[in-house]
Amino acid sequence: MSVEVVDILLATYNGARFLREQLDSIVGQTYAHWRLLVRDDGSSDGTAAILEEYQRRIGERMQIVRDELGRLGPALNFGRLLRLSDAAYATFCDQDDVWMPDRIEQLLAEMRRMERETGAARPILVHSDLQVIDEEGHEISRSFWNYQYLRPEVADDWRRLLVQNVVTGCATLINAALRDMAARIPREAIMHDWWLALVAARFGRVGHVERATVKYRQHGRNDTGAKRWGVSYIATKAAELRRTRWQEALRRTQQQAAAFRSQYSSQLSQEDLRLLDGYIGLEAKGVLARKLFVIRNGLLKVGLIRNIGWLLAV
């Protein structure tokens, strides 16, 4: 078997507090054939100095991207790194997590298994469960999927990904075929992982590894984060209904769906286009017609409580 390089894409912004621990967990990976591509998004703390320190330590295997693009935000920062990647595989890295020593090895093993089945020319994404930890590294939950009441197999259905993402970027590996197809991440994409999962599910395959490969740190400044599924979470979501946040979430998914339609219209079937047009234009339908459209087309979330809120929103 040929040795293939995995590009690790690290997008940083004011991450000095936890960055060294994350970089050390990359250096300690059991799969040694990696290259680290880093782009800082204009940090004002000590992040840049830490990156320079580790570049001197790691050498050519670590490359810091310097450009004049300014602050991009996490999704487009990762998109910039993705367009610079040219390896057989790419994997995403958040600045505040800690990788299990065999993270790359585990995801790559599943990726290679799937490529043997379908061929490397097909876009493939593999993601894993995560262990949820607090600021000090103490375990909150050994399974992010259980903690959030998520079902990873939902990512197999691109229609369901239109309304809910179940893929976490920092526990994701993609192949070159998916990178080449999805690297132009639009501004309407809610997050890079959601966009990549949507493209993979519609045009290729999404696989998952049941075990946690990342310690997913929660510290109050996460761009996205984990909230325990339970009575408190449900009460919070009920309050959000009164503040119309569900409607705002709906609009954002419609904008993302419109960008997806625009970018891939020539590769989508007429049935796909009708589905997307119906979802993007939900407001043109009556109240009952909107809810029936969502149900009949399988545009549903994971869990009864989420779907009650969802149907109220549409």
**pLDDT, mean of residues 178-197:** 95
Strand, coil or helix: what is 62? strand
* Mean pLDDT, residues 114-133: 97
Residues 6+ apart with CB under 8 A from 107: 91, 126, 127, 128, 171, 172, 173, 209, 213
Neighbours of 108 (CB within 10 A): 21
What is the C-alpha separation between 141 and 211, in angstroms, rounded?
A: 13
Distance CA(202)–CA(212), nearest Å, equals 25
Average pLDDT, the chain: 92
Task: Tell me the mean pLDDT in the region 129-149.
Answer: 96
The string of pLDDT tens digits covering residues 225-274 is 555 545 455 555 555 554 467 788 899 999 999 999 999 999 999 999 99
Residues of each domain in the chain carrying CATH 3.90.550.10:
6-217
Q: At what angle do helices 245-264 and 304-313 cross, to 10 degrees?
A: 80
User: Which CATH number is 6-217 given?
Assistant: 3.90.550.10
User: 151-172, pLDDT tens digit by residue?
Assistant: 999 999 999 999 999 999 999 9
